[in-house]
Structure 1
Amino acid sequence: MTGRVAQLRSAARFASQLYGEQARGAYEAYVRRIPFARLRFAPGRDDPYPIYEQLRSQGPFVVTPMGNLATVDHALCKEILRSRRFGVQPEGQGPPHDFDLSFLDRNPPDHTRLRRLVAPAFSPRRMADFRGAVEKTVTGLLDDAAAADEIDLVPALAAPLPIAVITDLLGIPDADGDAFMRYGMALGSALSGLRSLRHARQVMAANRDLEALFEDLFARRRADPQDDLISALVAAEADDVVHPAELVPLCGLLLIAGFETTVNLIGNAVNALLDHPEQWALLVADPDLAGAAVQETLRFDPPVQRTARASWDDVELGGYAVRREQWVNVLLGGANRDPAVFHDPDVFDLTRADGAEHLAFSSGIHHCVGRPLAELEATVALRLLVERMPGLRRAGPVRRRNATLIRGPLSLPVRAS
């Protein structure tokens, strides 16, 4: 993180000395007139979907203020994500050193090697084993929530569930749920970039604490292996399949991805259902529609709004020339509302037949390895929630995250009846 902190300090000093407050304000006003850039500001952070439609009206690609490209076209997004002519880094380049996201930021063969280590933990057999534990955790959380007249659904259910599940999967004994929630939220908040020096310090502190915890656990599992993922990873280290320096980033990625995807998926699902009472009523009448509600949320309001790929060649896509090493912003949230693919894309409908085409978990070789677990957790949470609290209603305004890549509520106050 130190490299990014230094960049922030340098940029702040440079802007203040060279431009001053008035010029920086003028630059921000200019940027706000560019639809893609408005995704960074309110109300774009609160509701990016009208901006995606503005981008769609401008053609298959738009040029960003940094000279890169962006697209909300579903067919192009899918092609780019699946193409071996694009990578998560320019060809031959490694990931940035200041924030290591393990295989998420790596091209093959390193991506293939690291992903293969964790993929068995998300197999159908393991998901079947996890179902009972997920149901038990959700039941306990809802038991606690039922004692209160009003609850905030995020800290009461959406956040502690994935923390309990991912720490169990990793094999972290007696995990401090509140601490891991802080780590997950701090590190996840950095995915959209560091906003300030204070934010950078928070992220660095979480990173240090998490690194110390994992290093201690690695040492214990080397001495006393257990039936958990961390034991499998240190065994792979002994076999020289994974390098020692890769272990902490790999476990950190699993924590961040496992937390961020699920907490925001559950929050966005409940938020959308409460915005559409007729859909909530459908789910209450048939809790087996919980899986459909999860898939429709992933299409309608996905927790991950965008990703990016770098072109490895000069290529032509959608009639547009993409240069070698040019970055393309793949706007998943916009692609999931492409009217060329989805009927009435702005309608939240649990009964739709075309929802499976969503790209919420990306596509191609970087398709989210933890998708089965996130879908399982969210499905169980919604099914038990409507069974236990069929009269759920809002108790206050939603407070959303201050982020553009990750989308979800920080606070979602509700009453059980």
Structure 2
Amino acid sequence: MTSPNGTALGTATSDPAAEQLFFEIFLTPRDDPYPAYRRLRETAPVLLTGDGTLVLTRFAECDAALRHRSFGKGNELAGFGLPGGAGEQQRQAQGRLGHSMLFANPPEHTRLRRSVGSVFTTRHIQDLRASIEDRTRKHLGQLARRSGGDFVDTLALPLPVNVIADLLGVPEADRMVFTPKVRQMVALLEPAADPEAITAAAAAEADLVAYFTDLLAAKRADPHEDLLSRMATAPEQARLSQQEMISTSLLLFGAGFETTTNLLSNTLHALLDHPDQQAALRADPALIPTAVEEFLRYDSPVQVDARTVLHDTDFAGTHLKAGQVIVMLLGAANHDPDLVEQPDTLDVTRPEPAHLSFASGIHFCLGAHLARLETQIVLEHLLSPAYAAITRPTQPQRRPGIALRGLAHLPLTLHP
């Protein structure tokens, strides 16, 4: 069997030592997971665990699984490694998001994605450039006036929050109020979240559901030129159900900034760790668009994806039955030496760095164009002659978790 690009797929093997390493990676997040990824990829790139989970760490197998028509979405990782009560709470909370495209399969996925897809086309996103540049200048100006501060709190978080909120039509007064709740809620996607985090995430989700229920009702009564208004007032034959509208609103608001915030913080952290790469971008800003792809590959904001086998099928030399789970360690796949040379090296001059940071197949990230544009604009302004140097006075702090990878705090000083 071969991958979509013609690469031969490996054969699934059982290996107790590799299985133990996988569970250590999955349930004990670390600041630098890449050495452990490499050991697992080299030992058992296609690992079949004792409970029937298929674990993939190479690009070819991950890409093929993401595109496979017999593999679909569900709540594959809910309750993973959690005690019974907390695991059930996570499954129930994820179930409330099940009406969004994140957990849907065709034909429901196709219908849900089509209902909002026009807002995220390349042409529409490019029309946002001027407003994103204005916001970027404002946030960088705040950092410069204070001679520094926290890059996450000052730019990496508020910039994408406001951009996606503008698209959706979330009132400005509500944006930063509900942002912490979204950041709490993402624990529902973390396989290693502790019970306390799951309880807080479920409560945050309930608050957000109530908020978007009220906001959609307000948009229906008094529509404006925004996506939520379009959803709320769509013709009856094309309108999503109430549950679908709420889940979609919640998904778009959360996903619209959560991964971009992580991408921005990971990118700047990597630049500060590699001054030679920062110098290369300052010397040739034309490299920035493809450099963004390298940052996505080098330290992806999304490290894990998963699928459920929908129909019995053969894959990677083994027979899989409906209900089995496939875990793809995207961070490991992005560092596959068969994908790029010297994969553990950051190289902003790579001409076309491939990666799976936006997934692949029908669930390819709807907001990929927007995340790319925001990151490009931030780099263009941050590395411009207006800021001769960027320093990091103290070390950053990582956010907990493995599925979503980013920084909680990144101290920064801008030097004119």
Q: TM-score, normalised by structure 2?
A: 0.86
- Classify the secondary structure of the residue corresponding to 1:39: helix
Distance in 2 (CA, whole Å) between partners of 1:311 and 1:358 is 23
Q: CA offsets, 1:114-154, max 9 Å, x none?
A: 11111111012211221111111111111111111331111
| C-alpha distance after superposition, 1:134-186 (max 9, x if no partner) | 11111111111111133111101100011101110101122334213212211
Q: State the distance in 1 between where 2:254 and 2:18 align.
A: 30
Where structure 1 has 5 or more consecutive residues not aligned to the other structure, the ranges are 1-29
Q: Which residue of 1 aligns with 2:203?
A: 205
Distance 1:51 1:197, change over 3 A: closer
What TM-score do the two structures reach when normalised by structure 1?
A: 0.86
1:268 matched to 2:266? The reply is yes
Query: Do the aligned partners of residues 208 and 323 (structure 1) sit closer, same or farther apart at CA in structure 2, a change above 3 Å counting?
Result: closer
Aligned partner of 2:43 among 53, 58, 73? 58
Matches within 5 A, 1:354-373: 354-355=352-353, 357-373=354-370
AA paired with 1:199?
Answer: A
Distance in 2 (CA, whole Å) between partners of 1:270 and 1:261 is: 14
1:65, 1:140 → 2: CA distance? 53
Conservation of the 8 A alpha-carbon contact between 1:304 and 1:360: yes
Separation of aligned partners in 2, 1:259 and 1:90: 22
Residue number in structure 2 paired with 1:384: 381
After superposition, where does 1:221-260 map in structure 2 within 5 Å?
Answer: 221-236=219-234, 238-239=236-237, 241-260=239-258
Q: C-alpha separation between the residues in 1 aligned to 2:31 and 2:50? A: 21
Query: Which residue of the partner structure matches residue 111 of structure 2?
Result: 113
In structure 2, runs of 5+ residues without a counterpart are 1-15, 77-89
Give yes or no for contact 1:225–1:231 (8 Å, CA) kept in 2: yes
1:35 — aligned with what? 21
SS in 1 for 2:172: coil
> For 2:263 and 2:288, how far apart are their aligned partners in 1?
12
Aligned pairs for 1:6-405 (under 5 A) are 34-40=20-26, 44-64=29-49, 66-89=51-74, 97-99=92-94, 100-101=97-98, 102-193=100-191, 195-236=193-234, 238-239=236-237, 241-355=239-353, 357-387=354-384, 388-405=386-403
Whole-angstrom distance in 2 between the partners of 1:127 and 1:112: 21
Partner Cα distance (1:249, 1:350) in 2: 37
CA separation of 1:161/1:314 partners in 2, compared to 1, >3 Å: closer, same or farther? same
Is the CA contact (8 Å cut-off) linking 1:237 and 1:244 kept in structure 2? no
- Measure how far apart 1:97 and its partner are: 4.4
Compute the displacement of 1:88 (Å): 1.1
Q: Sequence identity, in percent?
A: 39
State the partner residue of 1:25.
none
Which structure 1 residue ranges, 4+ long, deviate > 6 Å from structure 2?
30-33
Contact 1:76 1:317 in 2 (8 A): no
* Distance in 1, Cα, partners of 2:53 & 2:19: 17
Output the CA distance in 2 between the equivalents of 1:159 and 1:90: 27
Tell me the amino acid that sits aligned with residue 57 of structure 2. V
* C-alpha contact 1:184 1:259 (8 A) present in aligned 2: no
Contact map agreement 1:81 1:362 (CA 8 A) in 2:
yes
Return closer, same or farther for 1:174/1:353 CA change in 2, 3 Å cut-off: closer
Distance 1:399-1:31 versus aligned 2 partners, 3 A rule: farther
Question: How many pairs were matched up?
Answer: 383
